[in-house]
Amino acid sequence: MARAVSLPRSWPRKLAACALALCLGAGALLFGQGVYIHAKAALAQVLLQKAWAETLATGVPAKPWPWADTWPVARISAPRLGDSAIVLSGGSGEALAFGPGHLSGTPPPGPHGTTVFAAHRDTHFAFLKHLQKGDWLNVTGADGTLRSYQVSGTRIVDAAASGIDPREGGGRLALVTCYPFDAVQQGRLRYVVWAEQAL
């Protein structure tokens, strides 16, 4: 007959301490990742501001850091909310990690078609949830021209069927981010803010 193995009395305390240490370590790791994402986005905007100033001064696109695969093409601001961001060329994952992206295949800000800017809901486009119909948005293009747009509405759409046609509209702006705003995983829904250029 096999003899039962007896565990030391301190075993439950040691197991609880190990479990607590693992939980604290995992929590610290997740917290650190969240802080890193926000810190990277904030630091990038400082470097992008410098590149943006150089772009406006010289008329030549300036990269924010030597290995960047994108460059500033516009600056968007929401005066009522006090938010602004430098918009980058393209909508790649790398570009969106540092700021809003001007989606390729859509016209630059101006009188023709619908310009589309996209950004993450928890960093540069977190302010979209506070925009209201009638709010103003200012967009400065790489040529220094300032254009004002008035928010005309919002819509929640499926990513595969957004209804955004870049050839439609004269001087229209669509700002796109993931939805819902408080979700932790990316889903199929997108939040679109529509704005029309002031004449």
Encode the chain (199 residues) as per-residue pLDDT tens digits.
Answer: 556 656 566 666 666 566 666 656 555 555 555 556 666 667 777 889 999 999 999 999 999 888 888 999 999 999 999 999 999 999 887 778 888 999 999 999 988 899 999 999 988 899 999 999 999 999 999 999 999 999 999 999 998 888 899 998 788 999 999 998 887 777 899 999 999 999 7
What's the one-letter identity of residue 191?
Y
Contact predicate 121/191, CB 8 Å: yes
Please count the CA atoms within 13 angstroms of the CA of 58 that sit on its side-chain side.
11
Domains of the chain and any CATH numbers:
33-197 (2.40.260.10)
Reported as a single tens digit per residue, the pLDDT across 35-59 is 566 666 677 778 899 999 999 999 9
Neighbours of 74 (CB within 10 A): 24
**pTM, rounded to two decimals:** 0.78
d(CA 195, CA 116): 11
Residue 183 has what pLDDT?
A: 78
In one-letter notation, the amino acid at residue 46 is V
Which helix or strand (DSSP H or E) is residue 169 part of? Answer: none
Q: CA 24, CA 33: separation in Å to the nearest integer?
A: 14
pLDDT tens-digit readout, 161-174:
888 999 987 889 99
Look at residue 49 and give its three-state secondary structure: helix
